[in-house]
Amino acid sequence: MTARNRFHLIMICFTVLIAGTLLIKQTASSEQQKIETIGIDYASMNQSVEKVLKDMPEIAKELASIQSGKHENQLDQSFSTSKTEFRLRVKNNLTEQEHSSPFLRGIAEKQTEHYQDALDIAKEAYGITVTEDEIDAYIEENVSTIWDAEKRKYAKSLQLTLNELDYQFDRDVYVMNVLWERVLPIVMQEFPRKRGESGQAYGKRLKEEFFSGQEDSV
């Protein structure tokens, strides 16, 4: 997958459980990935972001922190329920779905917990941790080189520079990307794909097997 397509896929899948989605993305066919792009109106991105920002003042505070130049990149501060909820609401608006605020908030809380769970399982079960340098290197190689109109529009809607968008606001997304790049080959070796198993089914099973490690440790 090209860096450009990867960015578009992230924009579309902002909101799904990162742990499950990235596993599926690695094993899905290009045709399946193309289907996921249907129904997204990037021309409405600016309007959707502005609408959500009005309803979520807590995001304005987070953006102000980034804009101030005093925001520090620290792994334990990368994940934010408010930021996850913001992405859910933007996607909800773009796809014209009708979900209540309490519902989206609940989903955001579960997703944010899953992000931390994934990091914990990777460390405890596989001895894998993600460093800030690895995240920066990933963003530099795969993300910061994308300057297309859709990304510029998104950054402008948030009143962020492209650098601030990549290295700070969307950093949590790339934390998970780095994690899965390291964990996925090990999990796939531990749980090989079965004969006749579709890519989507295999991705779902890998996710379930990975997170079962958390249950086993309880």
The confidence score (pLDDT) of residue 131 equals: 93
Band of the pLDDT at 74, cuts 50, 70, 90?
A: low
Half-sphere exposure of 35 (CA within 13 A, CB side): 6
Q: Which residue has the tokens 């779902």?
A: 204
CA-to-CA distance for 192 and 211, rounded, in angstroms?
16
Q: What is the mean pLDDT of residues 82-104?
A: 84
Place of tokens 């520090």: 72
As a residue count, the chain comes to: 218
- Write the CA distances from 190 to 67, 127, 180, 183, integer angstroms: 44, 15, 15, 11
The mean pLDDT value of the chain amounts to: 77
pLDDT in tens, 43-73: 567 788 888 888 888 898 889 988 987 766 6
Question: Is 70 exposed, middle or buried, given 0-12, 13-18 or 19+ CB atoms closer than 10 A?
Answer: exposed
The model carries a pTM of 0.74
CA distances from 115 to 20, 21, 71, 99, 128 (A): 10, 12, 21, 22, 14
Q: What value does the mean pLDDT take over residues 107-122?
A: 90
Q: Is the pLDDT of residue 23 over 60?
A: no
Q: What is the mean pLDDT of residues 184-208?
A: 92
CA distance 19 to 204: 10
